[in-house]
Structure 1
Amino acid sequence: MSTKLFWKDTPPRGKLLRPQDVVERTGLSRSQIYQMIAEERFPPFVKLSTRASALPETWLDRFIELQAERSMNSL
């Protein structure tokens, strides 16, 4: 599977995580996350309303899995 746009092959299931939840779970800053989204290296937030966005938990889980795989492959 290509790592580019990896979330397209991952069903959006589980909890919907608000941006602060994503920051806490990844340890990345909000600005890092949005930069990575712009570079298509992080799944985008889903717009829930005009003022609310969230990330499907399965998309974040897949991102974390890919990062772990990359780390293990670089050893």
Structure 2
Amino acid sequence: MNYTPNNPKPWLDCPPSGRLLRPQEVFERTGLGRSTVYAMIAEGDFPPFLKVSTRAAAMPEAWLECFVNDRAQAALASPAQ
């Protein structure tokens, strides 16, 4: 069974709900580094941060959950190595 995503950007199907997560919390929850997250955002492979004020950015919790769920489904669908 090969995993083929219905949408390469699954967070677009999720309404922006839940808490607004500041960047540091996103890095901690995913275990990804700052530069990795920002590189993935630039490539369109990670949900973007929203500007909530002139000096603050945050990500809706639902977007991060959709991203993580999509990655988990991909991992479960890929053949064991």
TM-score range, shorter chain: over 0.9
Number of matched residues?
74
> When the two structures are superposed, what TM-score results if normalisation uses the length of structure 2?
0.87
> Does the CA contact (< 8 Å) of 2:10 and 2:70 recur in 1?
no
SS in 2 for 1:44: coil
User: Deviation above 2 Å: which 4+ runs of structure 1?
Assistant: none
Q: Tell me the equivalent position of 2:16.
A: 12
Q: Tell me the equivalent position of 2:61.
A: 57
Matches within 5 A, 1:1-75: 1-3=6-8, 5-75=9-79
> When the two structures are superposed, what TM-score results if normalisation uses the length of structure 1?
0.93
Gaps of 5+ in 1: none
What's the offset of the Cα at 1:6?
2.1
Give a deviation string over 1:10-52, Cα, whole Å, max 9, x none: 1000000000000000000011000000010000001001110
SS in 2 for 1:14: coil
Greater C-alpha Rg: 2
SS in 1 for 2:52: strand
Gaps of 5+ in 2: 1-5
Query: Identity, % of aligned pairs?
Result: 54
